[in-house]
Structure formats: structure tokens, C-alpha cells
Amino acid sequence: AQSVTQLDSQVPVFEEAPVELRCNYSSSVSVYLFWYVQYPNQGLQLLLKYLSGSTLVKGINGFEAEFNKSQTSFHLRKPSVHISDTAEYFCAVSYATYNFNKFYFGSGTKLNVKP
């Protein structure tokens, strides 16, 4: 069965510090990769996506992620976080050789940015 692992359920970090949120997935077949963010009392917002091409993907709000096929990872990074980045972040994977419309999500990482 396909699975997505977000290794950290919670990440506390101070404002202006760098952060990395980790995501690993179970299969090495062709994948599409996504990061979503959920702010309190809101829906999921697409941060960035990898479909093909360059393995370094830049998204909104200064976030970026790197696709590493050999390690089946898609970690999310930001060099300097703001208080407003406090939210829950979800990694999602779909498998291009199967039903690429079916997303598999990780269990989420709560980012808590402290002043």
C-alpha cells in the first residue's frame, strides 16, 4: 500500500529561524508531489508542487521543496519563518502510473513559530 510519512507531528521554531519539514513516501514509481498548508479555521491551500523537471521547486510565501528520487523524499524548507507561517502543513503524493487523481496525504506537521 502507498504511504506518506511526515516524520514530525509538531515543529516549534523561533521567528526568523530556518525550518525544514520532512516528507517521505513509499514508492519509487513516477510521482507527483505536493505541499499544502492549512491555516486555523481555513481549508488547505496549495503551497507548491512537483510534476516533472527541476527537482527544486519554489512555492508561495518563500517556501521551497526538493524532490529526491533516490531517498523518496520531498522536504519543505524556508530560510526564515514568520509568525504568520504558524499552520499545519501536509505533504501529498499521487502516482503518475496509477490514478494520479488520487492523493495520499501524510498525517500533517504543525509548525509553531514563536516570537
Partner 1 sequence: EAGVTQFPSHSVIEKGQTVTLRCDPISGHDNLYWYRRVMGKEIKFLLHFVKESKQDESGMPNNRFLAERTGGTYSTLKVQPAELEDSGVYFCASSQDGQGQYFGPGTRLLVL
Note the residues at the interface with partner 1 (CB under 8 A).
Answer: 4, 32, 34, 36, 41-46, 49, 51, 90, 92, 99-108
Cell representation of residue 51: 510534476
Least separation in angstroms between residue 101's CB and partner 1 is 5
Question: Which C-beta is closer to partner 1: that of 97 or that of 99?
Answer: 99
Give the count of beta carbons closer than 10 Å to the beta carbon of residue 111. Answer: 20
Question: Which C-beta is closer to partner 1: that of 13 or that of 44?
Answer: 44
Least separation in angstroms between residue 63's CB and partner 1 is 15
Residues 92 and 105: beta-carbon distance below 8 Å: yes
Question: Which C-beta is closer to partner 1: that of 38 or that of 66?
Answer: 38
Q: Cα(17)–Cα(113) distance, rounded to whole angstroms?
A: 9
